[in-house]
Structure 1
Amino acid sequence: MALFRETADVSVRPAVPGDEAPMTRVQVTAWRDTHEVALGDGVIDALDTDAMQARWAQAITSPPGPGFAVLVALDGPDVVGFAAVAPGQLLALEVHPDHQRGGHGSRLLAAAVDRLRTDGAEQIVTWIMDDDTARERFFSSAGLGPDGTERVLATGVRDVVEHRWSAAV
Structure 2
Amino acid sequence: MLIIRPEEPDDAEAVARVHVHGWQHGYAGLMPPEVLARLNVAAWAQRRRDLGTADPEHPFTTLLAERDGAVIGFTTFGPYRNNQDRADLDHTLGEVLTMYVERAHWGDGTAGRLLAAAKQRLAGRGWTAYRLWVLRDNRRARRFYERAGLSPDGERTTYPVPLAGGAPPLGLVELRYAGLLDG
- TM-score, normalised with respect to structure 1: 0.88
- Asked if the contact 2:78/2:96 (under 8 Å) is kept, the reply is yes
1:161 aligns with 2:161: no
State the alpha-carbon separation in 1 of the partners of residues 149 and 68 from structure 2. Answer: 29
1:20 aligns with 2:26: no
Q: Shift of the alpha carbon at 1:51?
A: 3.1
3-state DSSP of counterpart to 1:61:
coil
- Residue equivalent to 1:49: 41
Moved more, 103-112 or 49-58: 49-58
Q: Matched residues, percent identical? A: 29
- Asked if the contact 2:73/2:111 (under 8 Å) is kept, the reply is yes
- Residue equivalent to 2:67: 75
State the alpha-carbon separation in 1 of the partners of residues 56 and 119 from structure 2. Answer: 21
RMSD: 1.5
Segments of structure 2 that go 5 or more residues without pairing to the other structure are 80-93, 164-169
1:60 aligns with 2:66: no
3-state DSSP of counterpart to 2:8:
coil
1:121 aligns with 2:113: no
1:86 aligns with 2:78: yes
Give CA deviations for 1:63-100 in whole Å, capped at 9, x if unaligned: 533xx201000112110000000210000000000111
- The runs of at least 4 consecutive aligned structure 1 residues that moved more than 4 Å come to none
Segments of structure 1 that go 5 or more residues without pairing to the other structure are 1-8
- Asked if the contact 1:82/1:93 (under 8 Å) is kept, the reply is yes
Is the alpha carbon distance of 1:24 and 1:166 closer, same or farther for their aligned partners in structure 2, counting shifts above 3 Å? same
Q: Shift of the alpha carbon at 1:37?
A: 2.5
- Asked if the contact 1:36/1:43 (under 8 Å) is kept, the reply is no
- Residue equivalent to 1:40: 32
3-state DSSP of counterpart to 1:38:
coil
Pick aligned residue for 1:132 from 138, 144, 151: 138
Is the alpha carbon distance of 1:92 and 1:30 closer, same or farther for their aligned partners in structure 2, counting shifts above 3 Å? same
Is the alpha carbon distance of 1:114 and 1:26 closer, same or farther for their aligned partners in structure 2, counting shifts above 3 Å? same
Pick aligned residue for 1:30 from 13, 22, 31: 22
- Residue equivalent to 1:95: 101
State the alpha-carbon separation in 1 of the partners of residues 22 and 105 from structure 2. Answer: 10
- TM-score, normalised with respect to structure 2: 0.81
Q: Which amino acid aligns with 2:159?
A: L
Give the structure, 1 or 2, with the largest relative contact order (CA under 8 Å, sep 6 or more): 1
